[in-house]
Amino acid sequence: MFRLHKEICDFYEFVKPHDYEHSLRSELITRVSKCLTSKYPNGQVHCFGSFAAGLYLPTADLDLVFVSNSYHSGGVKVFGQSRKDIRKIGEVLRKSGITQYDSMEFILGAKVPIIKFVDRITGLKVDMSFEKLDGLITNKTFQAWKTRYPVMPTLVTLVKHFLLMRGLNEVVSGGLGGFSVTCLVVSMIQQMPAVQSKNMDPAHNLGDLFMNFLDLYGNKFNLTTTRICMDPAGFVPKVV
């Protein structure tokens, strides 16, 4: 387990977000924001998800949301409320030179319609949604978890790469997204007796934590009858 712990530490040092990656993504957000607010001055572009939480892999998509000032202050939704409106916003991005040629895709039939595109300069994939504030609330939760559970970013990054290698990281194809992975890791840490009793220092036992994660959710957790609860922490029966 000590060898595995050291390997996990080395792996995380290699793949964790670096300053230049942060700068590239921040600059991309600035360009998208300037493009859209020049056309729609009553809106703002916000980032959420793995980049905002600092839990992204080098090849991870960038999650953005375009929110109107009206909706952000408790009023009505303005942007992206029809297929025509979403396509119009996509055309603004295309004409400004933000997107790579022919990379734009409109996911209009989903519960949360999005525009998917590849940035022309960085080659990064971007998912843009509209008038959704829950991702911004989640940002605050992730930051609180990072402070309370310092090993969380390392374990989340490891599990996400583990899933990526097996093609199990895309929600649209039945995989687990970054939000779910983060919740599973935190839930496990919250309920590990050795961690809660302080008999185990998580920072020095990453190998044990990772193997416990695989055993818990791979062998012991019954997805059919049970769900996780974050606050208060616990496993609770699903209500049919």
What are the start and end residues of each CATH 3.30.460.10 domain in the chain? 19-133
- Torsion sign across C-alpha atoms 212, 213, 219, 222: positive
CA angle (180 as vertex; 179, 183 as ends), nearest 5: 90
**Rounded Cα–Cα distance for residues 215 and 220 (Å):** 7
Per-residue pLDDT in tens (0 to 9) along the chain, 240 residues: 999 999 999 999 999 888 999 999 999 999 999 999 999 999 999 999 889 988 888 888 999 999 999 999 999 999 999 999 999 999 999 999 999 988 999 999 888 899 999 999 999 999 999 999 988 888 889 999 999 999 999 999 999 999 999 999 888 788 898 889 999 999 999 999 999 898 999 999 999 999 999 999 999 999 999 999 998 999 999 986
Q: What is the pLDDT of residue 106?
A: 95
Question: Amino acid letter at 132?
Answer: K
What are the start and end residues of each CATH 1.10.1410.10 domain in the chain? 149-237
Query: What stretches of 43-192 show up as alpha helix (H) in DSSP?
Result: 50-53, 69-72, 83-95, 134-148, 152-165, 178-191
CATH of domain 149-237: 1.10.1410.10
Q: Residue 159: how many CB atoms within 10 A of its CB?
A: 21
In CATH, what class is 19-133?
alpha beta
pTM summary value: 0.84
Can you tell me whether residue 116 is helix, strand or coil? strand
Query: Which pair of structure tokens corresponds to residue 51?
Result: 């980049």
